[in-house]
Amino acid sequence: MAVQLASPLPCGGAGGFGKTTLATAVCADRSVRRRFRQRVYPVTIGRDVRGRAAVAAKVAEVTRFITGDTAEFDDPDLAGAHLGRLLDARPRTLLLLDDGWESEQLTPFLHGGRHCVRLVTTRNPDLLAPGTWHLAPGTWHLAPGTHRIQVDEMSPLQARAVLTWDLPPLPDAVRGPDPHHRPTPHSYKRRGTPPRPARLR
């Protein structure tokens, strides 16, 4: 029989594009910390947490981190249910589950905690499939309507904004062409040659 779980806020994308940086910035934001009254808990899962014993130990570690409770379980689902009951008794809480790789790592953290918001970062696209969150063998799906945040390669405009952040205005020769402008053959003829990317010196 399936057990209904909380639906987290997932942040997905390939490795190295800034999922953890974005999630950490969210957790550090003043308005977020004020909203949760400083009850913001970042937790790194990681690729090496594999197998039921390791997952159960991770859940126990997080339980101690958040609540101070020292109970331990060999079964990750029992450990997760225990954490969920403790979260149910707590005020509004934000739990960041960073770098999740497999459903078996994350499902124990979705029990209970009706006042707990879970922010999950993952590079595994299978964890971002639409559907219904429930606990059953081989299942890990998002509830319908869940907003997914995709962190991917920056657009040219975004890259320019990052590279020139807090700099004085740059001359056109350094800034290069507008990344949204698509030159036509007619514009090439008028200019003589296609524009070349500017090099920073």
Successive 10-residue mean pLDDT values, the chain, 201 residues: 63 89 94 94 95 96 96 95 95 95 91 91 80 44 67 85 84 63 50 49 44
Q: Positive or negative CA dihedral for 81, 85, 87, 64?
A: negative
> Hey, which residues does 116 pair with through a beta bridge?
93
- Print burial letters for 18-36: b (CB count within 10 Å at least 16), e (below 16): ebbebbeebbeeeeeeeeb
pLDDT of residue 201: 44
Residue 170 C-alpha from the chain's centroid: 34
- The CA distance from 64 to 58, in Å, is 10
pLDDT of residue 2: 44
pLDDT of residue 163: 85
pLDDT of residue 190: 47
pLDDT of residue 146: 66
How many CB atoms are located within 10 Å of the residue 108 CB?
A: 26
For residues 174, 175, 177, 178, the Cα torsion angle rounded to the nearest 10 degrees is: -170
Rg (CA), the chain: 23
pLDDT of residue 176: 62
Residue 72's identity, in one-letter code, is: E
Which candidate, 99, 86, 109, places its Cα nearest to that of 47? Answer: 99
